[in-house]
Amino acid sequence: MSAAPPHIAVPEDASRLPVTLPILQEKKRLGEPIVMVTAYDFPSARAAEAAGVDVVLVGDSGAMTVLGYPSTVAVTTDELLVLARATRRGLRTPFLVADLPFGSYEASDEQAVATALRFVKEAGADAVKLERGNDTSVARARAIVAAGIPVMGHVGLTPQTSTALGGYRAQGRSGSAALQIAQEALALERAGCFAIVFEAIPAAVSDALVPLLEVPVIGIGAGPATDGQVLVFHDLLGIREGRGARFVQRYAELQGEMNGGVAAFASDVRERRYPRPEHGYSIDPSELDLFRSELGALAAPAADPR
């Protein structure tokens, strides 16, 4: 008979301590919701830090939200490393996870480990995340974990392969499809993943599946039964056009505020309302006189040397 896993004491101010894997596991045991958001740069990381979130994901969604790509597929490892390094500089307490971009881990275990190592060594990531729970992804997860790097899994709607899934649509809405998600999630757990993201699956499927998993489950459009929730930074703050996916809850409408602020600035410049005297710097009158006299000499035409 195996011994019960040790429990750690989580102090009342744990939100201000660096979040670790044991803390995340203890939150699941205690039923304390895990808060996760995406971030892609220093300002968004500082917002996550100030809010006291538990986990920050440098998601490949940054391909669309900050780099302007039409999907997550085009973003490169080097591009995500830039975003991850900037995010790392803005964080002190949240656990930092970096997405492995499409094409950076599928070819072989060696490729997967090499890419994961770059995010840890070059960007300071605490862990990496990969999508899907098929045989290939499970093998890659196992290899990365064996190399000493924590891995977060991701099942359900996996944006990197959304074309093969029929587009950005809910998954697991038939018995067989739900069973496949369950099989993938359990396989990722057995491969050593410390947590798994459930994206866009029926809440009833999560209700049935989450109790079978020993690792934390982070939901995004997967109902309230998961151990935590994640949203994309730009979705929850309204820094994009359109309403986004059905599961998005807007907590601000910053895109309109940003547009309005830039438009007001442009109008003030064109109407010469900006800058005003209070925006400038002064100079002592005697120094100004000296400057003007010397400036006159500079501006005088040079004598003809002939």
According to the model, what pLDDT value does residue 161 have? 63
According to the model, what pLDDT value does residue 243 have? 66
Residues 271 and 179 in one domain: no
Q: Name the catalytic one among 106, 199, 241, 257.
A: 199
Closest of 27, 53, 3, 17 to residue 251, by C-alpha: 53
Is 285 part of any domain? no
Contact 91, 45 (CB under 8 A): yes
Q: Which domain holds residue 268?
A: 254-280
Active site annotation includes 32: no
Closest of 137, 150, 145 to residue 95, by C-alpha: 150
Is 243 part of any domain? yes
Name the token pair of 53.
């979130």
The distance in angstroms from the start CA to the end CA of the chain is 107
Q: Last residue of some domain: 249, 267, 291?
A: 249
Contact 172, 121 (CB under 8 A): no
Residues 220 and 87 in one domain: yes
Residues 233 and 268 in one domain: no
Per-residue model confidence as pLDDT tens for the chain (306 residues):
444 444 544 445 554 789 999 999 999 999 999 999 999 999 999 999 999 999 999 999 999 999 999 989 999 999 999 999 999 999 999 999 999 999 999 999 999 999 999 999 999 999 999 999 999 999 999 999 999 999 999 999 987 765 555 556 788 899 999 999 999 999 999 999 999 999 999 999 999 999 999 999 999 999 999 999 999 999 999 998 766 777 889 999 999 999 999 999 999 999 999 999 999 999 999 999 999 999 988 876 666 666
According to the model, what pLDDT value does residue 84 have? 98
According to the model, what pLDDT value does residue 211 have? 97
Residues 231 and 260 in one domain: no
Is 67 part of any domain? yes
In Å, how far from its chain's centre is CA 31? Answer: 24
Residues 104 and 168 in one domain: yes
Task: For residue 224, give the DSSP letter.
Answer: T
Number of domains forming the structure of the chain:
2
Element (H, E) at 144: helix 135-146
Residues 152 and 270 in one domain: no
Contact 37, 236 (CB under 8 A): yes
Q: How far apart are CA 69 and CA 296, in angstroms?
A: 54
Residues 261 and 194 in one domain: no
Residues 261 and 240 in one domain: no
Q: CA dihedral in degrees (171, 177, 183, 184; nearest 10)? A: -30
